[in-house]
Amino acid sequence: MATPKAPLFGEQLIRQGLITKDQLRIALTEQRKSGKQLGRILVELGFLSEAVMRDALGQAFGRESIDLTSLVPDPDTLKKIPRDLARRFNVVPISFNEESQTLTVAMSDIYNLIVLDRLHAQLGSGIEIKQVLAGETEINDAIDQFYGYELSVDGILHEIETGQIDYESLQSDEAEYSQPLVRLVNSILSDAVKRRSSDIHFEPEEGFIRIRYRIDGVMRQIRSLHKNYWSAIAVRLKVMSGMNIAENRAPQDGRFSLTISGRQVDFRVSCLITTHGENIVLRILDRDKAILKINQLGISDQALQSLQLMMARPEGVILVTGPTGSGKTTTLYSILSHLNSEAVNIMTMEDPVEYPLPMIRQTSVNESVNLGFANGVRNMMRQDPDIILVGE
């Protein structure tokens, strides 16, 4: 784990309230004896968790850090760095951008030039390497998980057919990758995100489970699974979403986040009982896809010009309508992002808030405390707003 100049880094940790002066003194004494890096010593002594140290190092280096425990690996990306090389140099490939030919790699020591040279030799010319910081133990665990098990949907299904499902292990938030159902759910979620889906539908029928994605507003059937798998898949999705796994009659809602293709993706989950069992739908809230520039919305030049004229007016109402998954929220958030500045007060009333936006006051509808759209907008008018968004 790379560490900046030890005393300066230690003083920074003290200023942030992460360690005490006595803890720094003990760690520096141990460093003089062992020659290890200060960050590694602070973790080994139990003064800081590896996650906190990872974020602190990222801040000190001015580099992005990543939590590998929530990462969903991409099989094609993993193939770019063989397991023995990943193990030898303590690196994990995170994502590959085809357009820029850039491979994002998690490393514990971003200043190790030998590792970078070896990776460039492995990848060949033309591929750039983007480094992100991760903890040494996190990387070792990720290598064991990602390289040690089948990750394709078809391969996992074959593995399930020849083994048994451990239902008890699925009920843990930190279920192991050794469980094929955990990998199956993650692979389906990753596949949906890569296909730029807005929703994933798990639909139980009499003898099978239908999986459909909504892509560009249109429902598309992706595959069918034997109904024997549904109970375990439903349990896993409920655990990830913070739902009650014992409740299978009343509707439930939840949400969770995963790191897919190197970026955080949020999932909003709805569970509803139907004739053939619990129907589960996941809305994909991809932050990178949500906040687009106005000229990236894919609308015609004439429509873009009309929209820009409307946004320039000091008053008025812009009404955005369309079917599920057609891009209403993306359009509205793009408009707000375009109008957002220190000179205006923007407020939203949403059901629920889908993406956090900087400098914008966002409120979720909460009928349990009598905060509906009508009451919400009425109260927002007392907050001196310049622009209000009301989102379904």
Q: Are residues 258 and 203 in the same domain?
A: yes
- Verify that 105 and 129 share a domain, yes or no: yes
pLDDT in tens, 41-68: 888 888 888 778 878 877 777 778 888 8
Per-residue confidence band for 167, with pLDDT thresholds at 50, 70 and 90: low
Residue 165 binned pLDDT confidence (cut-offs 50, 70, 90): low
Q: How many domains does the chain have?
A: 4
Residues 274 and 160 in one domain: yes
Q: For 207-263, write each residue's pLDDT tens digit.
A: 899 999 999 888 999 999 988 889 999 999 999 999 999 998 899 999 999 988 778
Q: Rounded CA gap, 293 and 311, in Å?
A: 13
State the pLDDT confidence band at 93, using cuts at 50, 70 and 90.
very high
* Same domain flag for 202 and 252: yes
Same structural domain, 230 and 336: no
Find the range with the poorest average confidence among 8-12, 286-290, 340-344.
286-290
pLDDT of residue 170: 60
Residue 116 lies in a domain: yes
Average pLDDT over residues 77-93: 91
**Are residues 115 and 49 part of one domain?**
no
| Whether 275 and 297 share a structural domain | no
pLDDT digits (tens, 9 = 90+) for 269-293: 999 999 999 999 999 988 766 678 8
Within this chain, do residues 52 and 118 fall inside the same structural domain, yes or no?
A: no
Considering the domain boundaries, does residue 1 fall inside one? no
Give a yes or no: residue 300 inside a domain: yes
Question: Does one domain contain both 231 and 115?
Answer: no
In this structure, the answer to whether residues 283 and 296 fall within a common structural domain is no
Question: What local confidence, expressed as pLDDT, does residue 7 receive?
Answer: 59
pLDDT for residue 321 is more than 60: yes
- Cβ 145 vs Cβ 117: under 8 Å: no
Note whether 270 and 300 are same-domain residues.
Answer: no
pLDDT at 166: 63
Is the pLDDT assigned to residue 13 strictly greater than 90? no
Q: What is the pLDDT of residue 329?
A: 86
Asked if residue 171 is part of any domain, the answer here is no
Report the greatest alpha carbon distance in the chain.
Answer: 70
Asked whether the predicted pLDDT for residue 315 surpasses 80, the reply is yes
What per-residue confidence (pLDDT) applies to 245? 92
Domain CATH code at residue 224: 3.30.450.90
Mean residue pLDDT across the chain: 86
Does position 322 have pLDDT exceeding 90, yes or no?
no
Strands 346-350 and 361-364: parallel
Report whether pLDDT(339) > 70: yes
- Cβ proximity of 135 and 108 under 8 Å: yes
> What digits encode the pLDDT tens for the residues 349-376?
998 888 888 899 999 998 888 888 999 9
Residue pLDDT, tens place only, 127-159? 999 998 888 888 888 888 888 776 777 788 877
Per-residue pLDDT, averaged over 4-21, amounts to 77
Say if 115 falls within a structural domain.
yes
* 223 in any annotated domain: yes
Inform me whether the pLDDT recorded for 3 exceeds 60. Answer: no
150-186 exposure pattern, b = at least 16 Cβ within 10 A, e = fewer: bbebebbbeebeeeebbeeebeeeebebebbbbbbbb
Q: How many CA atoms lie within 13 A of 297 on its CB side?
A: 25
pLDDT tens track for 31-40: 888 877 788 8
CATH of the domain at 362: 3.40.50.300
- pLDDT (average), residues 340-356: 89
User: What pLDDT was estimated at residue 104?
Assistant: 93
Domain boundary among 266, 288, 310: 288
- Has residue 24 been placed in a domain? yes
166 to each of 150, 229, 230, 231, 239, how far by Cα in Å? 17, 12, 13, 12, 14
Per-residue pLDDT, 352? 82
In the chain, % of residues over pLDDT 90 = 35
Least trusted range by pLDDT, from 8-22, 120-134, 226-240, 303-317: 8-22
Residue from 140, 138, 2 nearest 58 by CA: 2
Domain of residue 128, CATH code: 3.30.300.160
Q: What is the pLDDT of residue 174?
A: 57
Q: What are the DSSP calls for 234-263, one per residue?
A: HHHHHHHHT--TT--SS-EEEEEEEEETTE
The gap between the terminal CA atoms of the chain, to the nearest Å, is: 46
Share of the chain above pLDDT 70, in %: 93
Nearest CA among 385, 316, 293 for reference residue 344: 385
Residues of the domain holding 78? 68-148
Q: How confident is the model at residue 172 (pLDDT cuts 50, 70, 90)?
A: low
Residue 2 lies in a domain: no
Between residues 55 and 303, the one the model is more confident about: 303
Apex 137 CA angle, 133 and 138, nearest 5: 55
Let me know whether 331 and 218 are in one domain: no
